Chains A and B, each alone.
Chain A
């Protein structure tokens, strides 16, 4: 049994190793990019009739924008691309679990660590963009400079928690389904897989909301 798709090695030349994580990540990226390109190739204007695909895409984008707006107010469009990509990537990778042979790349700690690192980079970037370099980094010294290590510790641990939470949830679902397949393969894996779909979408939502909350906290700190 494989704990993570990292352990499924498809090809190896020296130290270059092509694992299932890598293949599934690139497949998912290609799928999302191609479908986004096809969707936005002929966009209808405000008064023209829309295709059903454009309608569906608009529903998704508007929902994500509304969710971001409830957390950080009117400036939702600034973060829409980043948060939306995170959410759609994690959601698609969990939902594609229904395709036989698919291994969710988020069941590997490398992928979730990469996603968490990108959140960890985006938070100071958005903070600096909204308040300027000096003003943003001054909050590490508040209320006194003694708090500096605690601030750093809290930022590190919350990014670590972001990575391990997503990895643990997705990996545990895949593991439970794998164990059930080996014990009672006829019917019991199916409800567990449906639960895994639900958990995957909820974890994608939680990841996106937490990223939004962290960014909003970094940005709004300057406005208080």
Chain B
């Protein structure tokens, strides 16, 4: 009974936290990226000659912002597929 409880609790916490991590980790970088794209588009509209420089800088910036979402994604994946706490508990109780 004890083993069942701890495994279930860890599974529940991992899944819920993975969902929260992915949700907030997707919302905030999306808002930031939208802001960056809007600024870059209006800058290109005002100065079409600088489009190459602006779009390159925009791409680098988007990659930087995107990596925040990717970190959240990696953490969510680790929580679900390769959870270290889970492995520890299962090993300890010899499931």
Contacts and interface: CB of A to CB of B under 8 A. Distances in A.
B70 A206 contact: no
A164 B81 contact: no
A209 interface: yes
How would you classify the secondary structure of chain B's contact residues: helix, strand, loop or mixed? helix
Interface string B60-91: 10011011001101100100011000000000
B23 to A, nearest CB: 16
B46 interface: no
Nearest to B81: A3
Chain A binding site: helix, strand, loop or mixed by DSSP? helix
Given A165-B66, A206-B60, A206-B63, A3 B74 contact: no
Nearest to A169: B70
Interface of A: 3, 70-71, 161, 164-165, 167-169, 171-172, 175, 202-203, 205-206, 209-210, 213
Contacts of A210: 60, 63
Contact of B52 (A70, A203, A205, A209): A70
B59 A209 contact: yes
B92 interface: no
A161 B53 contact: no
A165 B63 CA distance: 8
Contact of B67 (A71, A164, A171, A205): A164
Given A164-B70, A175-B77, A70 B56 contact: yes
B29 to A, nearest CB: 12
Contacts of B64: 161
A5 B71 CA distance: 20
Contacts of B67: 161, 164-165, 168
Contacts of B56: 70-71, 209
Nearest to A1: B81
Contact of A70 (B53, B59, B66, B70): B53
Contacts of B73: 168, 172
B89 to A, nearest CB: 20
